[in-house]
Amino acid sequence: DAGITQSPRHKVTETGTPVTLRCHQTENHRYMYWYRQDPGHGLRLIHYSYGVKDTDKGEVSDGYSVSRSKTEDFLLTLESATSSQTSVYFCAISEWGQGASGYTFGSGTRLTVV
Amino acid sequence: SQQGEEDPQALSIQEGENATMNCSYKTSINNLQWYRQNSGRGLVHLILIRSNEREKHSGRLRVTLDTSKKSSSLLITASRAADTASYFCATDANAGGTSYGKLTFGQGTILTVHP
């Protein structure tokens, strides 16, 4: 999607290994979010950021950490991957507070933990 | 916990027919949004309706919001095969603090439009 890219698009990793997913935006939006999408659960918020170095936990944050050292990049790290973290991960950006606009989503990262 | 519940879970119609999807939620909201997701793709924002609005239109889309019933509906008129996708409602909850735009999504409605 325009202005937001996720990498990698697909990844297979082994249980117990650390994994980092990257979200990069060129829209200079303040707010960034990581969601996971699983069948039967819809999208669930993992972590979000409301500014550089300002992050907080979402609904399903256990086993995940995030970092945002600059406006354009929001990294999601699975500290020690487990099979339950096999999912599709989406990053989103918004200008929340600036006229209440919707999210722009990335194309997603399909992660498989074996 | 899921804020939004959508109904029906799946909807199958013919091209030219109207499609209506419903969303219910549990808490007070700042706004409610609808998104579309084509298979294997990211979600695309369709429309946002604020808590003080009752109806909103965008092209073939019509969204209503009833805050007294904590429910919303999305109507797609004159459906096309290209409308085949999953549709999600999402709520920006007004929980007394600052939401930072965090959205809670429903599980979605799978719409299939047959040519």
What confidence tier does A100 reach under pLDDT thresholds 50, 70, 90? Answer: low
What integer pLDDT is reported at residue B1 of this predicted model? 42
**Between chains, do B45 and A104 touch, taking CB under 8 Å as contact?**
yes
| Three-state secondary structure readout of chain A | CCCEEEECCEEEECCCCCEEEEEEECCCCCEEEEEEEECCCEEEEEEEEEECCEEEECCCCCCEEEEEEECCEEEEEECCCCHHHCEEEEEEEECCCCCCCCCEECCCEEEEEC
Q: A with B: how many residue pairs have Cβ under 8 Å apart?
A: 69
* Tens-place pLDDT, residues B98-107: 778 889 999 9
- If one compares A39 and B19, the residue with the highest pLDDT of the two is B19
**Is 50 exceeded by the pLDDT of residue B2?**
no
User: Tens of pLDDT along A55-68?
Assistant: 999 999 999 999 99
Chain A nearest-CA distance from B37, in A, is 10
Residue B3 — very low, low, confident or very high, per pLDDT cuts 50/70/90? low
